[in-house]
Amino acid sequence: MMEYQKININTATPEPARSRVMIIYTGGTAGMIPDADGTLRPFDFSLILQHLPALRNLSLELTVLSFSEPVDSSNIGPDQWAALATIIESNHSDQDGFVILHGTDTMAYTASALSFMLKGLNKPVIFTGAQLSIIHPRSDARENLITALEIASTKTNGQATVPEVAICFGNELLRGNRSKKAESNQFDAFQSENHPPLAKAGVKIEFNHSAIREISTEVFQVRKKFCPDVSILKIFPGMQPAAVTAILSTPGLKGIVMETFGSGNAPTYPWFLEALSKAISSGLIVVNISQCAGGTVQQGRYETSRELSSIGVIGGADMTTEAAITKLMVGLGELNISEIKEWMQNPVAGELTSGVAAR
């Protein structure tokens, strides 16, 4: 069981505060400072006002909850996703929004996972982080966090303006399950090729209301079951039968996200199609995702993808790999095998475009 440290921050707000927002620190560059020998370590969040005095101007009631042992994002997975969902579930009725400080490397995976776990979400869950530590003179951590807090606390007609899981980074707000990390050396680290930004932060924050999910009418509940018995099969020229067979025959494997060329095309080698067909007949779920950052899978458009449909490969439409793999984990954990195809082909949290040719 994960342990947490909870800190209430006195921002000298008027009574009552404009909004109540919880900051959840999982780890990552944004909350790190160097010690005497230069090694980065988490800073004391009870001193956050010393690093970010501008927080006093937001008129917010802030609570900071920090993992007792911060986790590098490269080590974050289903256990931490479940922990985050549980924190949000436990504090959902007391908070107007949540800001999650997270390492950038797997932020899109965690944001995607939570979008599928938090059914009926009507409050902002905004991920942010930084490329440089908060104490660095040119750090992006301060602006990213301030903007994320503003977005998480903004309401329209008394309801959350952004009632979904999103990533706030480099002056843009992107849908979490439409995002992927594209830069390691620039401040605009994330991209969303198949869905427009939910907001852009300039002199003021401009919300793209037509791109934001509507308030859900479902009762809020959390899906907590995962099946991590999945893998990714990336198609490439010259791939060999032994390598493909080794992946498809992995003991206990239940699902594959197959990254194909262009609009869902793959080689038509007899050995390849036979291996896929045999695996699918044995109960393996195979989802077809394009390697391209933009565009959509259209199985059957070309001869090189027609066979995939005939053997039972599921078209993943315009989902990112991050969304497809986490959606598959949640689906296999929560649903019967007979329900998975519908789950993967239809939008659950705005992760794919309805009506695209995905077969």
7 or 169, higher pLDDT: 169
Share of the chain above pLDDT 70, in %: 89
- The CATH number given to whatever domain includes residue 128 is 3.40.50.1170
Higher pLDDT, 50 or 256: 256
- pLDDT the model gives residue 51: 72
- From CA 143, how far away is CA 54, in angstroms rounded? 10
217 and 251 part of one domain: no
Q: State the average pLDDT for the chain.
A: 89
Q: How does 40-75 read in b/e, with b if 16+ C-beta sit within 10 Å? A: eebbebeebbebbeebeebebbbbbbbbeebbebee
What is the residue-wise DSSP string for 22-63? EEEE--SGGGEEE-TTS-EEE--GGGHHHH-GGGGGG-EEEE
Say which residue, 77 or 357, is predicted with more confidence.
77
Residues 166 and 298 in one domain: no
Identify the DSSP state of 209: G
- Quote the pLDDT of residue 349: 97
Domain that holds residue 15: 4-222
Q: Are residues 184 and 66 in the same domain?
A: yes
Select from 222, 239, 263 the last residue of a domain: 222
> For the segment 206-226, what is each residue's pLDDT rounded down to a tens digit?
999 999 999 999 999 999 999
Cβ pair 101, 31 in contact under 8 A: yes
Q: Dump pLDDT digits (tens) for 12-64.
A: 666 778 899 999 999 876 666 666 666 666 666 667 777 788 888 888 999 99
Percent of the chain surpassing pLDDT 90: 69
Are 293 and 210 found together in one domain?
no
**213 and 331 fall within a common domain:** no
For residues 303 and 332, the model is more confident at 332
Mean pLDDT within 266-270: 94
CB 265 within 8 A of CB 306: no
What integer pLDDT is reported at residue 359 of this predicted model?
Answer: 44
Residues 12 and 143 in one domain: yes
- Give me the residues paired with residue 24 across strands: 65, 100
Reduced to 3 states (helix: H, G, I; strand: E, B; else coil), residue 21 is: strand
Same domain, 209 and 281: no
> In the prediction, which pLDDT does 358 show?
45
Q: What is the pLDDT of residue 3?
A: 74
State the pLDDT at residue 14.
64
> Are 174 and 254 part of one and the same domain?
no
Residue pair 30/40 in contact by the 8 Å Cβ criterion: no
Task: Specify if 59 maps to a domain.
Answer: yes
In a domain, 354, yes or no: no
Where is the domain boundary, 173, 203, 222?
222
Q: How many structural domains are present in the chain?
A: 2
Provide φ and ψ at 234, rounded to 5°. Answer: -95, 125
202 and 97 fall within a common domain = yes
Least confident of 42-51, 107-116, 154-163: 42-51
Rounded average pLDDT over 108-121: 98
Inter-helix orientation angle 107-117/321-334, to 10°: 40
Same domain, yes or no: 234 and 126 = no
Whether 352 maps to a domain, the answer reads: no
Q: Is residue 340 part of a domain?
A: yes
Q: Cα(first)–Cα(last) distance of the chain, in Å? A: 41
Q: Is the pLDDT of residue 272 over 70?
A: yes
The answer to whether the beta carbons of residues 299 and 264 sit under 8 Å apart is yes
Residue 359 within any structural domain of the chain: no
Same domain as 253, residue 197: no
Quick one: pLDDT at residue 195? Answer: 97
**CATH number of the domain residue 276 falls in:** 3.40.50.40
Which of 222, 255, 272 finishes a domain?
Answer: 222
Same-domain check for residues 244 and 210: no
Q: What is the pLDDT of residues 288-328, one digit of tens each?
A: 999 998 989 998 787 777 899 999 999 999 999 999 999 99
* Alpha helices per DSSP H over 201-299: 241-248, 270-281
Predicted pLDDT of residue 225: 94
Indicate which residues carry an active-site annotation: 29
Q: Would residue 358 count as lying in a domain?
A: no
